[in-house]
Chain A
Amino acid sequence: MSSSAICVSHDSPTLTSPTANMAAAVSSEDFNTLQLLLKAPSKDAVRDVCIQSHRGPSRRLAETTASTLSIPAAQAAQLVQSLHRLSHHVLFNNLSSPEQILALFPESFHTSLKNLITKILLENSPTWRTDALSDQISLPQLKELDWRVDLVTGSDSVSRMSVPTCLVQLKMEDPCPAAGGKSISTVTVELGRESLDTILDGLGRIRDQLSVVAGK
């Protein structure tokens, strides 16, 4: 499933049908459509369309592309979708060398355009990969951690005391909140000394296990 189908919070106001990025191979029809890019006024225009299509189909993008390339809106929409399928195919399969990407194109494809598209895809892949990974589904992610240590000097059960206590505030961001839900949540917890020791014990064990995994 494309991420734009799952998270309604993403950009495009009008979503066309969800595109399954991962499995969809790039068809010969897609490559035919890509040759519409030959009508682009400049290399930068090609670059712009490629980059913007990666995010997801949008009517606005189709309209802009239609006017830049002087093609009908319907064709522009198809072009955007084909580019989208291509860039996501490259991303999914981690095609990282020119040869791997060039091999996707049919023999008859316009050579210079093929080289340009390949170059654009290679340039942007690292960013797209980082974005995809930071956008992936996950539990709410810890964004910020603050703490404070207080000395409790009295309470209703003991009027004079001197006991340290620790307050920890955790700010979490949910990358995909449910509709109507908030994405940032804050939890403040209080820990006594023993709890803090127990936590450190647990965290220490995690660290040890992580170094075993990292060592492999």
Chain B
Amino acid sequence: MQLHFTKDVLPDSVSTDFQNLNKLNEQFPRLIEILFQFLLEPKETEKFMQRLSEFAGEHGMSAGPLRNLMKSVLLVPQGALKKNLTAAQIKEDLVTLGLNEDKAAHFSQQWGEHYAALSRHAVGQTLMVNQLVDMEWKFGVTVGTSEVQKVGNIFLQLKLVVRKGNSTENVYMELTLPQFYNFLHEMERAKASMECFS
């Protein structure tokens, strides 16, 4: 079987699952809707399972086999996202797997509609090292020190919140005015550089 979304050899159960999918008619769109809701919010596995159970109940199916079926179906959009497949390519794959034309067309149309959001999300999942999560700041005037009674220097304090693995780390620093203006200038240059790539 030549498939766009994966180079792996799929277990036979996958073909069986797609053929079983053909048996659903009026229920198919709703099932696909549930599937895409999950793809758009991949962290909400419990909601997904719950919706599948409700669906199974409503249509006189057993929840367990339905879940297994969906696991097979999920392989296609998940692989397609990684490989940036078009709606046409995904439709071809579904047909190759045994899904009938109408259903494959419906699925790929939904894919096309949601592709932008799904893509953004996948890109958002891309590894970032020490991602800057938040920045807080305050500035003020140093009025005096133990060495010099009267001063009038402006200072700026920054707190950067950096994601390190599963937790965050706070980094505190102080900048003088010239350093602040330099920081601002450099960040503007970085932004200009990034905009070259858009």
Contact = CB atoms under 8 A, between A and B. Distances in A.
Interface of A: 1-3, 21-22, 88, 91-94, 129, 132-133, 135-142, 145, 147, 149, 151-152, 155-166, 168, 170, 172, 187-193, 195-200, 202-204, 206-207, 209-210, 213
B102 interface: no
Contacts of A158: 81-82, 84, 119, 122-123, 125-126
B186 to A, nearest CB: 6
Contacts of B137: 202, 206
B93 to A, nearest CB: 16
A2 B146 CA distance: 8
Interface string B12-30: 0000000000000000000
Contact of A159 (B83, B145, B153, B189): B83
Interface string B37-49: 0000000000000
A92 B147 contact: yes
A163 B127 CA distance: 12
Contact of A199 (B125, B135, B139, B146): B135
A213 B131 CA distance: 33
A2 B151 CA distance: 17
Nearest to B147: A132
Given A94-B150, A203-B183, A196 B126 contact: no
Interface string B126-158: 111111100101010110011111110111110
Interface of B: 81-84, 119, 122-123, 125-132, 135, 137, 139, 141-142, 145-151, 153-157, 160, 162, 171-177, 179-184, 186-191, 193-194, 197-198
A157 B191 contact: no
A88 B147 CA distance: 7
A63 B137 CA distance: 49
B128 A1 contact: no
Given A142-B175, A202-B137, A147 B148 contact: no
B84 A159 contact: yes
Contacts of A206: 137, 139, 156, 180
Contact of B191 (A136, A161, A200): A200
Contact of A151 (B129, B176, B197): B197
B141 to A, nearest CB: 8
B173 A170 contact: yes
Nearest to A196: B191
A172 to B, nearest CB: 5
Contacts of B129: 188, 190
Given A206-B180, A210-B139, A196 B151 contact: no
B70 to A, nearest CB: 20
Contacts of B186: 145, 147
7 contacts: A132-B148, A133-B151, A155-B127, A161-B84, A161-B123, A162-B197, A204-B184
A187 B130 contact: yes
Contacts of B84: 158-161
A155 B124 CA distance: 11
A166 B190 contact: yes
Nearest to B133: A195
A129 B173 contact: no
Contacts of A135: 147
B161 to A, nearest CB: 10
B180 A139 contact: no
